[in-house]
Amino acid sequence: MSFQAFATNRDFVTGTTLTQRQIRELEFYEEFSERNESIEVCFDSVLGKETRPWNSYWRITDLAKEHFRGEGERLLDFGCGKGESSVIFSRIGYEVFGFDLSPNNIAIAKRLAEQYGMTAKTHFSVSAAEKLNYPSDYFDIVAGTDILHHVDIGRSLAESFRVLKKGGLAIFHEPIRVPVFDTLRETAFGRWLIPGTASLDHHITEDERKLTDSDLQVIKKFDPGFSMQRFLLLARLDRFIRDPNGKQASFLEKVDFQLFKALPFLKNFAGIAVIVLRK
């Protein structure tokens, strides 16, 4: 039975009917995960052998480390995908719960946790971001990596705040729309140079959209004092000049980091944000 046919009755993901957008996302990631099952997790950001304050993904791990208080703390990997971040968070010491819309992703995440000896500290389930099956006030931290721009932001944040303990943190890594760059990208030449249409090869779904000022206003309703650290200015060029599988630090990310310190207004043109909210 196709996902489309299944979802017209009762949804096996959440017990409710999936939206058309959720069905498209589910079908995409079921196929995408089958193409990309081989995963190697790098724990350098946890082990402290080096620091990379200029790297947005390492910043997520740094924040999780900074706010870890001891055994028993729970972290929700919000849209865990294939579980790479879940395994890293569990290495810090958290009891990690991860969910994803794709059953294939969850199956891969469970195998990955077993591969790295983290089965006892990780718990995975199939769910939609807009309706979670966790108790209220349950998690010390909610961490989502490149997830909000795939979902209904208002409903998903409402759920993340419901399951978050009072005083807990919600941390999200997201692409941000920058009109001066994205307007150029949406020209015919820009679309040729950097394809933006749905593509399994380029890991782009039909419905994903970069966060806009309107989305940031929605986020502000949950925490008027939320913080946002921006990344990715000149480092946009890494996609053309850097090995995507390379493990060495990006020189251009380092340059961006220094530019932002010297000329803070340049942050307005950066394309990635690490957003931190407190309940």
The string of pLDDT tens digits covering residues 49-74 is: 889 999 999 999 999 999 999 999 99
Checking if the pLDDT of 14 tops 60, the result is no
The reported pLDDT for the residue numbered 2 is 42
Residue 33 belongs to a domain: no
Mean pLDDT of 252-272: 97
Mean pLDDT of 170-183: 92
Q: Structure tokens of 134?
A: 């966790």
Checking if the pLDDT of 112 tops 70, the result is yes
Q: Structure tokens of 15?
A: 């017990």
Percent helix, strand, coil in the chain (nearest 5)? 45, 20, 35
Residue 144 belongs to a domain: yes
pLDDT band at 201 (very low <50, low <70, confident <90, very high): confident
Residue 135 belongs to a domain: yes
Total domains in the chain come to: 1
What percent of the chain has pLDDT above 70?
A: 93
Residue 7 belongs to a domain: no
Q: Structure tokens of 42?
A: 């790098």
Residue 174 has what DSSP assignment? Answer: E
In this structure, how many other beta carbons lie within 10 angstroms of the beta carbon of residue 198? Answer: 13
Alpha helices in 176-267, H assignment, sequence order: 179-185, 188-193, 213-222, 238-241, 251-262
Checking if the pLDDT of 6 tops 60, the result is no
In this structure, how many other beta carbons lie within 10 angstroms of the beta carbon of residue 41? Answer: 18
Task: Please give the mean pLDDT across all residues of the chain.
Answer: 91
Lowest mean pLDDT among 14-28, 29-43, 96-110, 188-202: 188-202
Q: How far apart are CA 46 and CA 61, in angstroms?
A: 7
Residue 30 belongs to a domain: no
Mean pLDDT of 35-39: 75
Residue 132 belongs to a domain: yes
* CATH number of the structural domain spanning residue 199: 3.40.50.150
Mean pLDDT of 18-44: 89
CA atoms within 13 A on the CB side of 222: 28
Residue 19 belongs to a domain: no
Q: How far apart are CA 93 and CA 140, in angstroms?
A: 12
CA atoms within 13 A on the CB side of 11: 19
Residue 6 belongs to a domain: no
3 state SS of 91: helix
Domain with 118, as residue range(s), is 39-278
The string of pLDDT tens digits covering residues 133-148 is: 999 999 999 999 999 9
The reported pLDDT for the residue numbered 96 is 98
